[in-house]
Chains A and B, each alone.
Chain A
Amino acid sequence: MNRHVSPENIQTMPTRLPAPMGSLINRQQPITFQFEGTNYHGVEGDTLASALIANGRYLLSRSFKYHRPRGPLTMAGQDANTLVQLPDEPNVLADTHPLSQGLAVTGQNYSGSLDHDSDMKLGKFSKFMPVGFYYRSFYKPKGAWKFWESLIRKKAGLGRYDLNATGSYHDKAYLFADVVVVGSGPAGLKAALTAAEGGAKVLLVEQQSQLGGALTYARFDDAGVRAGQVREALIPAVEAHVNIHVLCKATCNGWFTDNFLPVIQGTRMYKVRAQECIVAAGAFDQPAIFRNNDLPGVMLASAAQRLIRHYAVRPGKRAVVLTGNDDGYLAALDLHEQGIEVAALVDMRAGPVDTRLTQTINQHGIPLHVEHTVFEALHDKTLHHVTGVDVRRITRRGEVADDSLTLECDLLCMAAGYMPMYQLLCQAGGKLTYNDDVAEFSLSNLPKHLYVAGSVNGLHDLDQVLQDGVIAGTQALHSLDLPATEAAPLVGAPKQVNFPWPIFAHPKGKEFVDFDEDLQIRDIINATRHGYRDVQLVKRFSTVGMGPSQGRHSALPTARLVADATGRTVSETGVTTARPPFTAETLSHLAGRSFDPFRVTPLHQRHLQLGAKMMPAGDWQRPAFYPSATSGHLDRDRCMQEEAIHVREKVGLIDVSTLGGIEVRGPDAAEFVNRIYTFGFLKQPVGRTRYAAMANEQGVVVDDGVSCRLGENHFYVTATTSGLARVYQSMLQWNAQWRLDVDIANVTSAYAAVNVAGPLSRKVLEKVCTEVDLSPEAFPYLELREGKAGEAPARLLRVGFVGELGYELHVPSRYGEYLWDLLMKAGEEFGIRPFGVEAQRLLRLEKGHVIIGQDTDGMSHPSEIGMSWAVNRKKPFFVGRRAVDILDEQPAKRRLVGFRLPATSAKPLEGHLVLEGSDITGNVTSCEYSPSQDAIIGLAYAGADKATPGSHITIRVEGGDEVNAEVVKLPFYDANNSRQEM
C-alpha cells in the first residue's frame, strides 16, 4: 500500500534531456513519490532509480556486509545495488520497478538512516573478516555458535517482510510456439522475423518494456545513426507480423528439457513449449576491478546510456570513461553529445580497433589516455558519491605505474568487456569455453533445437549480429521442415570486445569482484590459498556469485582470478553452475492459481440444505453428520450417536454415491472377476451379491466391495470411495496381460446410490419400489433386483454393512435427487432420518465390519484381519494367491481383534499403541462409544497370542495412561445376524 505523499518538501521538477532521448518516459505525466521520507518528482515511464538519479539521488542502498553506499550499476535489474524496500515488499529492484503516483519507498539493510548508516564501521574491520571467517571463528568453544548465531542472524538478510500483506492473484498459462526467441535485440528481432517469414509461429520474449535490446540505448557507429535505422527497419516489421507473438516485460527464467520454458510476465508464469528455441539474450556489460569501483556514480557505460536514451536523465556532469573496447569510445561520444563533460577517456588498450574513433574523439576534444586505467575511484568522507579518479599507466598485466593523474568527476563509466548471457544455455547443457585470443567465453555443446544468436554467441559487430539472427532463424526453419532460403555465412572475424585483464589490485583493497557479497580480489585469492582450487568450492567458501545478481558480473573476473591463482587456464577453471531461476521469482509465481479438484454427489445440495457437516473422503465431499434432532447443533459425538440409534430403532438413509461402481461385461466377465477378487465368483448366481475382497500381489488386502451379478456376462462391482481409482487401474492393468474378452467401465459418477437401513426400511421401500416384491422370501438377504424406484430405473441390493435390514438403491445420477426426495417423503410416516459417514462407521464397527484402509495397512493379509472366509482356496488363481498362501504358512505375528472397555474408561483413539510390557504389538484402528453396547468398542492389532476372546490387551491412551481392554469375539452387535436378514 502506498503512503500518501504530502505536497510539502517536494523537490523541484528536475530537467530532462531533450527528445528523442527518453524513449520510455511520458514527460506530460508527472508523478510524485517519496524516498527515505523526501518527496520527489518523476514522470510516467520512469523507474524508481531513473527518477531518483534525475533528482540527483544516487545512493539507493547499502552493501550486504560492509554497508557501503551503493548506487545503480546496470540500470537493467542485473545487480543488487538498487534493492529497496516497498511498504509491503522487500528487495525490489529500483532500476526496474516502475514509478507510480504516491509510491513511498525506503532503503533497507541499514542502522540509522540510509545516508548515515552506523553499520558502515564494519568496513573498517574488513581485514579481520576475511572470506569464510565465520566458518572458522564462531564454532569454538563448543556451544559458542548458539551465542553468535542470533547476532549474525540479526545482521543477515535484507529488507522486511510485511506479515500482514495479502497475496495477489497469480496464475499460469501454457504458451505454444514453433520457435521461441529469447531476447529482442538485433539478433533476436532478425531471428524472429526470419522464422516468422518462413511460416513458423514465433514467440518473442523481451525482458524490458520495449523491443530492441541494445538498439534502444547503445551506439553502434561514430555518427550515432545506425541503431535508429535498424530499429526502424525491424521493430515495426516484428510488431506487425501475424506469426509473431511479442511478450515484453517478460523474463525467461529457465530452460528445461525439450524447450520447456518458464516465462514470467507480471503476475503470470507462462509455461512455454516450443519446438525450437533461439537464445538471443545478449551479453552482460562487465565492470573493471579497481579500488572503490562500487561507489555511487560508478556505473557501467551501458547504464549511463540507458539513463540517457530510455529516461532522458543526465547521469552526471563531468565523466570519465574507462574502457577496454571500442564501445567505451561510443559511450563517451554519447555523453559528450548530451552535454556531459568527458574529462577523460581511459583506454586500457593501446588504442581502438576502429582507428577512426581516435580521430572522432580528438575532434570532440575528449582527452584520451591509452594503456591507462583507473586505479582508484576517489570519494569524500561519506563515500556517498565518486568525486574523482586516480588514473595510472598500465605497466604489466594488472600492474600500474606509480605516477598518478587525478581527475575530478562525478560519473565514472566502465566498459571492460562482455560476458555472454550463458545461464539458460548452460542449464540446457551448454559448455563454456574461454578463448584466450578474444578473452571471452563462448558456448558449445548445445542440445538439438536450441540455437544462439548475437552477442551471446560472441558476436559484437552489428552486421554480424544481424546475420547471426538470420542464420539461427533459418536453422530453426530447417528443423521445422519449413521452407527457408539458405542463410549467408558470417563475414569477417568476431570483434574483440574484452580486455584480457581489467583487474587492478590496490594495496588498500576494496576492489570489488562481487558487489552483492562485498568480495574483494584478495577474498577470491585467499579462498584458493585455503585449498579451494575448484571454482565451485571457491563459490561455496566465499559465496561469490551467490547474491541476487548470481555472478553476472563476478563470474568472469572470478574465473580469471582463480585460474591465475591456481596456475590453470580460464577454460579449465570455468564458471559455477547456472541453475534456474535466472532472476528472483516469487513463490506466488510458482504456486500460480491452485487447482484442487473435488467431487460432489448428485445429492450434495440436499445435504447442504439439511445443514450437514461435510467432510472430505478422497476427493469427494460427504456428509459427516447432520444437526442433532434434539438440539439442532452440530456436535459430532451427539449427532453420530443419535443417528446410529435411529437406524437401529427405526430407519435412516445415507448417500453412498461415492462408492466406486465398475461394470464388468463380456463373455469372460465371470472369469475376470474370479481372478481379480479372492472369493469364488464363477458360480455366483445371477441376481445375487457377494462380498469381494481384493488383494495385491503381496497378498495384502487393498480394497473390498460387493459383486453384483446382473447377468451371465454382466457384473456390477463396487469399490471403496478412495480405492476406486486404484482398483479400476489395477483391473485394466491385469487385463492388459490376461486379454480376457471383457469390457471394464468405471461408472461411479453414473449412479447415485442411497442405503436405506433400519428395521422399518422395508416399509419405506414398499412405498417407493412398488413393482418389486420386497418380502423376505422373494427378496432375501444378499439378493439383488432390477426394478424401479418411482419413475427411476434402479438396482436394488440387499446388503447389510450397518447390520440392520437394509437396501442399497443405485439409480442413474440424473435421478439421484428425485430418489432422495422420494425416500424422504415415503419414510416420513416412519420417521426416516438421514445419517452421515460418522454414524455409518460406528454402526459397521458394532457389526465388526472392517474398513479397508482404516483397519488395514500395507501389511494386512486376509488371515490377519479375520477374512480367511473371503478367500476361495479351491480356485487355481486370484491376484495375490501365492503370497496369501505363503503368508498363511508363516507363524501369525498379529491379529486384528475386537476389544471392549467400560463406557467410563478413557477412550483410545485411532493410532494409539497396543503394548505388551514395553513392546509395541499393534495399534488401535477404530474406536467409538457404542450406544447399543453401552461400552467403548474398537478394533486393534494385537499380538497373535492375544487374539483369543477373553484375553486382555494394554492400550496406551492420551496423556500416556494405559487401559486394559478385553478382547471379544466379533461382531459386537447381533451375532446371529437376525436383524440384517429379517
Chain B
Amino acid sequence: MATLEDTLTTKRTPLYHLHQANQPNATGWQHLGGYAIKAGQDETQVEPTTVAPACGLTDLSALARVGLRGKKAATILSEKHYQLPAAPNQALRQEDGSLVAKLSASEYLLLGSFADDGERISRDELAWQAAERAHRLPDAYLLPRQDTHAWLALTGSHASDVMAKLCGVDLSPKAFAPGHVAQTSVARANAIIINASQADLSCLYLLVDSASACYFWPILLDAMQEFEGKELNIMALRHHHPA
C-alpha cells in the first residue's frame, strides 16, 4: 500500500484533513478519482463481517458525481444510456453500479460506481463541460456536485436509527425503501438522503454541503456511538458493492 506522500495530488476532498489527522504517517493511502484516499486494508483480505458492522460511516467524496438539470436533461442522460427514475425523489441503480437520482421534474444527480472508480461519470461530465462551453448543451445545465457536496455513506442495520437522531424524516426501511430520496434537513443543515441499500447491506447516502462536511462527520460519529458504529474506509464498503 502506498503512503500519503505517494498519493497526494492537487485535489482534496472536503474531509481530507480529518482523515489525514487520523492516519498521518501510515501507509494505506491510494488514488481514487485523482484524490488521495485512506484505503485501509487490502479488500481481498477483509472478512465481510468486519466491514459490515451494524453501523458504519464512510467518506465517498472521492468518487465522481455531477448534477444535470433543465428541459433537455432527461434526453441528454438517456442518450448516454442512463436509466432514469420515473418520479422525483427516486433513485435508480445503473447496471454498472452508478446511481441516478431524480431530484425534481428536470433535475438529476449522478453518483459514480465503485466498479469503475467513478470513471464513467467523470468522463461524461468532462464531455458535457466541453459541450456547455461550446454552447452545445442547450436547455441543460451542469451542476458541480463534486465540489458543492460531500458524499457520505451510512451503512448497517442501524443506519435509520442513527438518522432518527438527526432527521425528522422517517428513514426506516419500511417507510424509506431502497431507491427513495429525501431532500431535507439533517442536524439543522441541508442534505440529500438516498437509500442505496443493496441485498446484503443497508446503506444511506448523504450528500451534504461540502463546506459543512467537517460539521457533519463528527455529528454522525457521535450519533452512531450507541450502536457501536465505526468509521469505515472506502475499500471496506467497496467490498459490499460488487457492482
With A171-B165, A597-B212, A817-B12 as contacts: A751 and B172 at CB distance below 8 Å: no
A750 to B141, CA, bound (A): 15
Q: Is B81 part of the contact surface with A, judged by Cβ < 8 Å?
A: no
Residues of B137-155 whose CB lies within 8 A of A: 141, 143-144, 146-149
In the complex, are the beta carbons of A745 and B11 less than 8 A apart? no
Do B219 and A595 touch (CB < 8 A)?
A: yes
Contact A818–B222 (Cβ < 8 Å) = no
Query: Which of B14, B69, B211 is close to A620, meaning CB atoms less than 8 Å apart?
Result: B211
* A509 CB-CB contact with B under 8 Å: no
B113 is an interface residue with CB less than 8 A from chain A: no
Are A600 and B10 interface neighbours, CB within 8 A? Answer: no
Contact check, B11 vs A747: say whether CB atoms are below 8 A apart.
Answer: no
A175 proximal to B (CB < 8 A)? yes
Among residues of B, the one whose C-beta sits closest to the C-beta of A270 is B164
B165 touching A599, Cβ below 8 Å: no
**Interface presence of A601 (CB below 8 A):** yes
Q: Using an 8 Å CB-CB cutoff, how does the interface string of B1-44 with A read, 1 for contact, 0 for none? A: 00000000011111001000000000000000001000000000
Measured CA separation A171–B70 after assembly (Å): 41
A599 touches which one: B13, B135, B188, B211 (CB < 8 A)?
B211
- Would you call A597 and B188 a contact (CB within 8 A)? yes
In the assembled complex, the Cα of A790 lies from the Cα of B10 at a distance in Å of 10
Residue B199 CB within 8 A of the other chain: no
Bound state CA distance, A814 and B147, in angstroms? 6
A597 with B164: CB separation less than 8 A: no
Least Cβ–Cβ distance between B133 and chain A, in angstroms: 8
Main secondary structure of the interface of A (DSSP, over half): mixed
Interface presence of A605 (CB below 8 A): yes
Tell me if A740 counts as interface (CB < 8 A to partner B): no
The verdict on A935 contacting chain B, using a C-beta distance below 8 Å, is no
Chain B contacts for A107, CB-based, 8 A? none
| Shortest distance between the CB of B226 and any CB in chain A (Å) | 9
Q: Which A658-712 residues have a C-beta within 8 angstroms of B?
A: 663, 665-666, 711
- The residue on B at minimum CB distance from A605 is B17
A residues near B10, Cβ cutoff 8 Å: 790-792, 815, 818
Inter-chain CA distance A790–B135, complex, in Å, is: 26
> From residue A3, how far is it (CB to closest CB) to chain B in Å?
30
Task: Given A743-B141, A745-B143, A749-B209, answer yes or no on A176-B170 (Cβ-Cβ < 8 Å).
Answer: yes
Are B164 and A173 in contact, CB atoms less than 8 angstroms apart? yes
Taking the closest CB of chain A, its distance from the CB of B170, in whole angstroms, is 4
A597 and B213 alpha carbons, distance in the complex (Å): 10
Closest CB in chain A relative to B134 CB, distance in Å: 11
Specify which of B13, B161, B164, B167 is in contact with A814 (CB 8 Å cutoff). Answer: B13
Binary CB contact string for chain A from 794 to 815 against chain B (1 if under 8 A, 0 otherwise) = 0000000000000000001111
Q: How many residues of A contact B (CB 8 A)?
A: 43
How far, in whole Å, are A747 and B188 apart by their CA atoms in the complex?
Answer: 20
B221 within 8 A of A: no
* Chain A nearest CB, measured from B66 CB (Å): 11
Q: Which of A172, A174, A747, A816 contacts B12 (CB 8 A)?
A: A816
CB of B172 within 8 A of CB of A176, answer yes
The residue on A at minimum CB distance from B165 is A173
Contact B170 A174 (CB under 8 A): yes
Q: When the two chains form their complex, are residues A599 and B209 in contact, meaning their CB atoms are under 8 A apart?
A: yes
Q: State which size class the interface on B falls in.
A: 35 or more
Q: Is the CB of A812 within 8 A of B165?
A: no
- Beyond A173-B164, A201-B174, whether A602 also contacts B12 by CB under 8 A is yes
The contact of B148 among A271, A593, A750, by CB within 8 Å, is A750
Residues A749 and B175 in contact in the complex (CB < 8 Å), given A599-B209, A817-B12 = no
Q: Does A273 contact B (CB under 8 A)?
A: yes
Contact flag A815-B11 (CB < 8 Å), given A175-B164, A273-B170, A599-B211: yes
CA distance A751 to B211 in the complex (A): 10
Question: Chain B residues with Cβ under 8 A from A271's Cβ?
Answer: 168
Residues of B within 8 A of A172 (CB): 165
A812 engages B215 (CB within 8 Å): no
Asked if A176 and B167 sit within 8 Å, CB to CB, the answer is no
Tell whether, in the assembled complex, residue A598 and residue B14 are in contact, meaning their CB atoms are under 8 Å apart: no
- Closest Cβ of chain B to A174, distance in Å, is 5
Q: Which residues of A contact B172 (CB under 8 A)?
A: 176
Choose among A597, A747, A815, A816 the residue with the greatest number of B CB atoms under 10 Å from its CB.
A597
- Asked if B182 CB lies within 8 Å of chain A CBs, one says no
Contacts of A816 in B (CB 8 A): 12
Chain B residues with CB under 8 A of A665: 141
Q: How far is the CA of A814 from the CA of B166 in the complex (A)?
A: 27
* Chain A 746-765 per-residue mask, 1 if CB under 8 angstroms from chain B, else 0: 11111100000000000000
| A273–B167 CA distance with the chains assembled, in angstroms | 12
Give A751 to B148 CA distance when docked, in angstroms. 8
Report the Cα distance A273→B141, complex, angstroms: 39
- Out of A174, A711, A743, A818, name the residue touching B70 (CB < 8 Å): A743
In the complex the two chains form, what is the Cα distance from A635 to B172 in whole Å? 52
B144 touches A812 (CB 8 A): yes
A818–B12 CB distance below 8 A: yes
Whether B14 contacts A602 by the Cβ 8 Å rule is: yes
Query: Which of B11, B13, B146, B214 has the largest number of chain A CB atoms within 10 A?
Result: B11
Residues of A within 8 A of B13 (CB): 814
Can you name the residue of chain B whose Cβ is closest to the Cβ of A814?
A: B11
Contact A176 B188 (CB under 8 A): no
CB of A736, distance to nearest CB on chain B (Å): 13
- Name the distance in Å between B73's Cβ and chain A's nearest Cβ: 10
> Which A residues touch B168, using CB under 8 A?
174, 271, 273
Residues of A within 8 A of B131 (CB): none
Measured CB to CB, the closest approach of chain B to A745, in angstroms, equals 6
Contact, CB under 8 Å: A593 / B144: no
Among B148-188, those with CB < 8 Å from A are 148-149, 161, 164-168, 170, 172, 174-175, 187-188
What is the distance, in angstroms, from A257's C-beta to the closest C-beta of chain B? 15
Rounded to whole angstroms, the CA-CA distance of A691 and B164 in the bound complex is 45
Contact with A along B206-228 (1 / 0, CB 8 A): 00011110110001001000000
Which residue from chain A places its CB closest to the CB of B135 in the assembled complex?
A: A711
> In the bound complex, what is the Cα–Cα distance between A52 and B147 (angstroms)?
64
Please, what's the 1-or-0 string for B86-99, where 1 marks a CB less than 8 Å from any CB in chain A? 00000000000000
Give every chain B residue within 8 A of A746 (Cβ-Cβ).
148
Contacts A812-B144, A813-B210 hold; do A595 and B175 have CB atoms under 8 A apart?
no
Question: 0/1 per residue, B40-74, Cβ < 8 Å to A?
Answer: 00000000000000000000000000000110000
**CB contact between B164 and one of A174, A604, A818 (< 8 Å): that residue:** A174
Give the chain B neighbours of A175 by CB distance below 8 A: 164
Q: B170 contacts A595, CB within 8 Å?
A: no
Is B189 located at the chain interface by the 8 A CB criterion? yes
A812-B212 in contact (CB<8A): no
Instruction: Tell me the bound Cα distance from A174 to B149 in angstroms.
Output: 25
Residues of A within 8 A of B175 (CB): 176
Instruction: Determine the residue in chain A with the shortest Cβ distance to B214.
Output: A600
Q: Which residues of A contact B35 (CB under 8 A)?
A: 814
- Chain B residues with CB under 8 Å of A748's CB are 148, 211
Give chain A residues whose Cβ lies under 8 Å from the Cβ of B166. 595
Residue of B nearest to A600 (CB): B214
Nearest chain B CB to A203 CB, angstrom units: 12
Q: Considering the chains assembled together, what is the distance between the CA atoms of A745 and B70 in angstroms?
A: 12
Contact with B along A717-759 (1 / 0, CB 8 A): 0000000000000000000000000010111111100000000
Q: Which residues on A sit within 8 Å (CB–CB) of B17?
A: 605
* CB-defined contacts of A620 to chain B, threshold 8 Å: 211
The answer to whether A598 and B212 touch across the interface, beta carbons within 8 angstroms, is: yes
Q: Is the CB of A747 within 8 A of B148?
A: yes
CA distance A173 to B211 in the complex (A): 25
Q: Can you list 7 A-B pairs with a CB-CB distance of less than 8 A?
A: A173-B164, A599-B209, A749-B147, A749-B149, A812-B147, A814-B147, A818-B10
Q: A595-B219, A598-B212 are in contact. List 9 more A-B contacts (CB 8 A).
A: A173-B164, A174-B165, A595-B187, A598-B214, A745-B143, A747-B143, A748-B148, A812-B144, A818-B11
Q: Which A residues are closer than 8 A to B by beta carbons?
A: 171-176, 201, 271, 273, 593, 595-602, 604-605, 620, 663, 665-666, 711, 743, 745-751, 790-792, 812-818
The 6 closest A-B pairs by CB, nearest first: A599-B211, A176-B170, A750-B147, A750-B144, A597-B189, A818-B10
